[in-house]
Amino acid sequence: MIDLSIITVSHGHKKEIQRLLRSIREKNWKVKFEIILVDNLPPHRAAIVAEKVFPEIQIFKNPKPKGFAHNVNLGIKHSKGRFIFLLNPDIIVLNGLFDNVVEFMENHPDVGIAAPMLLNPDGTRQVSARKFPNLWIMIFRGLGFDRIFKNFILNMDYEMRNLNIQNGYIHVDWVTGAAMILRRNAINEIGKFDEKNFFLYFEDVDMCYRMWKSGWKVVYLPNIKAIHEWKRRSAKNLFSIYKYYHIVSGIKFFKKYGLNLKNPREGK
């Protein structure tokens, strides 16, 4: 039986895919896992590299680019593991990551989603667990004020920057899909990622929201770590295509759940 299905989506991430797979290959693992790559950008150079580094990898090549939710769902459809681990190509896997997340999920059957702490290459902690957004934080961040007023209380509260990271695990509203482990039974209950509403961004927010609404917990694991070379492409340019997708997805999220968003984690 396969314990873990690792799914990664490449959009021209040739070098990153090579590094990710090597960071997996060079370590010893107790859990049984499979790796599924969805190569989202012809001429599929990432797939060529992946086959050389990890010959047993399953590869699906899109004839034209699809949205992130669609690609993840494709991977889930063909996966066999008891747990699904989404990993961005720009993740570097550290010792014990797979074994530890599987052990945690086995010991906490009420958890639908969990995520390790993500570190910058210099070892500092990234903001990868957050509160559900409201209209004010969407406007604040949509206009790029989070880069100028990073320590503004509205932004710090949203980014949950005062988490007590000494605990073994912490209940949080949502975690980023850059490194997210999901329980297959929970996916079977609430459904896969919402590819009808979200092409890029907010798929992870939506999935975590649905988990909480259905009674599954979402947790952050500060004692389990991975390195993430975070690009934040939507934040670098107010007029980029990534910023456009971010704003559109945010609007669709509020259209789906309402402007007066109720927080199912807090029961209100």
Pick from 120, 115, 80, 82: nearest CA to 97? 115
- What does the pLDDT look like over 216-249, one tens digit per residue? 999 999 999 999 997 655 444 555 788 888 889 9
Domains of the chain: 4-132+164-231 (3.90.550.10)
Q: Please give the average per-residue pLDDT across 197-218, as a whole number.
A: 97
Query: Which pLDDT does position 234 carry in this prediction?
Result: 44
How far apart (Å, rounded) are the C-alpha atoms in residues 193 and 203? 6
Query: Which pLDDT does position 97 carry in this prediction?
Result: 98
Pick from 77, 108, 120, 82: nearest CA to 218? 108
- pTM of the predicted structure, to 2 decimals: 0.93
Q: Please give the average per-residue pLDDT across 114-142, as a whole number.
A: 92
